[in-house]
């Protein structure tokens, strides 16, 4: 079989070039009444914690009584097959994100049963939005008191390259999570984790907790507020694409000392060891040379 010339996508039991799948996906999107998805990234072309991501996906499907018409193991095999089929297009130092989508569509005749569509596709991971934040840290804002700065609604500061995240709070004012990432901070040498009953726990967040145990850092879980972060020693966010990024500021105020802090650096080192790849340098290495000058 000849190597593909463009990324391949799985749609409802068929594998096809993504350009061909696009028209099908457009029709599905026009009639969708809801759905679920999850995304993983690769390290060295191998997906990280695929089973854990699929378990989270299937918990959502079960809660909504959506039948994907294939088992978790079958979807796992499909995902591994799609990654393997696309590996020849992955250049050295590049990585994939791979996404599973289970969407439900309704025909114009409401008496007809709903259709369930399953899609799996790869994209080349774009390091540019977050690479410099490994060294410079990200900026957090709390939308209720400090709106997203003008021109940064897309999630990045065009001047510094820092990502900008909204740090959300619950009804009682306690911190929960960032838009698109989990949030934690460090005080007195211990990681402070917002109450998991008020957040969507991510696979990366769970990885942080596992790695904290490996490096001997204790974790406290509770209700915390902005004032706790202003007095913190350091803070960080976690998500699939970047794993862990240090926090530089909250609402323009510096959080802790040097960025990244000691525990954030320890978590990054432990994560590098776990996956066998220095993903921080991998990300920085994908930036144009003139974009790396601030990293030293």
- 110-144 pLDDT per residue, tens: 566 678 999 999 999 999 999 999 999 999 999 86
Q: Are residues 142 and 119 in the same domain?
A: no
**pLDDT at residue 61, rounded to an integer:** 94
> What is the domain count for the chain?
2
| CA geometry: angle 162, 163, 164, nearest 5 deg | 115
Q: Last residue of a domain, which of 124, 153, 176?
A: 124
Chain centroid, CA 239 distance in Å: 4
**pLDDT at residue 143, rounded to an integer:** 80
For residue 1, tell me if it sits in a domain: no
Which helix (DSSP H) or strand (DSSP E) does residue 38 occupy?
strand 32-43
Q: Are residues 99 and 160 in the same domain?
A: no
**pLDDT at residue 147, rounded to an integer:** 45
Left if phi > 0, otherwise alpha if psi is -120 to 50, otherwise beta: which for 103? beta
**pLDDT at residue 153, rounded to an integer:** 44
**pLDDT at residue 157, rounded to an integer:** 60
Residues 260, 206: Cα–Cα separation, whole Å: 20
Q: Last residue of a domain, which of 55, 90, 124?
A: 124
Q: Are residues 142 and 114 in the same domain?
A: no
Domain with residue 83: its CATH number is: 3.30.470.10
For residue 57, tell me if it sits in a domain: yes
**pLDDT at residue 23, rounded to an integer:** 83
Helix (H, G, I), strand (E, B), or coil: what is residue 13? coil
Residues 38, 252: Cα–Cα separation, whole Å: 32
**pLDDT at residue 114, rounded to an integer:** 77
Helix intervals (H) in 133-290: 133-136, 203-214, 226-230, 262-275, 279-285
Q: Are residues 107 and 211 in the same domain?
A: no
Domain with residue 205: its CATH number is: 3.20.10.10
Sequence-distant (6+) residues with CB within 8 A of 195 are: 174, 176, 221, 222, 223
Residues 15, 121: Cα–Cα separation, whole Å: 10
Left if phi > 0, otherwise alpha if psi is -120 to 50, otherwise beta: which for 68? alpha
Q: Are residues 107 and 172 in the same domain?
A: no
Strand order of the β-sheet with 115-124 is 14-17, 8-11, 115-124, 96-105, 32-43, 46-47
Give pTM, 2 decimals. 0.88
Q: Are residues 184 and 81 in the same domain?
A: no
Cβ atoms 296, 284 nearer than 8 A: no
Distance separating the N- and C-terminal Cα atoms of the chain = 46
Taking 50 as the pLDDT cut, the residues of the chain under it are 146-149, 151-154, 293-296
Q: Last residue of a domain, which of 106, 124, 142?
A: 124
Q: Are residues 140 and 61 in the same domain?
A: no
Cβ atoms 140, 247 nearer than 8 A: yes
Q: Are residues 290 and 172 in the same domain?
A: yes
Cβ atoms 37, 118 nearer than 8 A: no
Q: Are residues 114 and 224 in the same domain?
A: no
**pLDDT at residue 296, rounded to an integer:** 33
Q: Are residues 181 and 228 in the same domain?
A: yes
Domain with 241, as residue range(s), is 133-295
């Amino acid at each position: 079989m000849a190597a593909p010339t463009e990324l391949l996508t799985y749609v409802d039991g068929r594998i096809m070039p993504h350009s061909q799948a696009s028209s099908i996906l457009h029709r599905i999107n026009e009639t969708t009444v809801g759905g679920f998805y999850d995304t993983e990234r690769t390290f060295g072309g191998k997906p990280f914690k695929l089973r854990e991501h699929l378990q989270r996906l299937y918990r959502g499907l079960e809660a909504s009584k959506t039948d994907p018409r294939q088992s978790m193991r079958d979807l796992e095999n499909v995902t591994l097959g799609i990654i393997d089929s696309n590996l020849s297009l992955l250049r050295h130092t590049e990585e994939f994100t791979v996404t599973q989508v289970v969407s439900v569509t309704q025909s114009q005749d409401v008496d007809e049963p709903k259709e369930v569509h399953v899609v799996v596709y790869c994209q080349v991971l774009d390091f540019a939005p977050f690479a410099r934040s490994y060294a410079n840290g990200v900026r957090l804002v709390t939308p209720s008191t400090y709106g997203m700065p003008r021109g940064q609604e897309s999630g990045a500061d065009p001047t510094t390259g820092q990502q900008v995240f909204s740090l959300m709070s619950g009804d009682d004012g306690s911190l929960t999570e960032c838009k698109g990432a989990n949030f934690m901070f460090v005080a007195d040498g211990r990681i402070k984790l917002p109450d998991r009953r008020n957040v969507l726990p991510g696979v990366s967040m769970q990885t942080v907790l596992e790695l904290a145990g490996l490096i001997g850092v204790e974790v406290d879980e509770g209700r915390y507020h902005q004032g706790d972060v202003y007095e913190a020693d350091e803070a960080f966010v976690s998500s699939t694409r970047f794993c862990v990024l240090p926090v530089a500021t909250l609402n323009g105020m510096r959080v802790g000392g040097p960025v990244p802090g000691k525990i954030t650096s320890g978590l990054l080192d432990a994560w590098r060891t776990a996956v066998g790849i220095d993903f921080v340098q991998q990300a920085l290495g994908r930036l144009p040379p003139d974009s790396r000058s601030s990293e030293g």
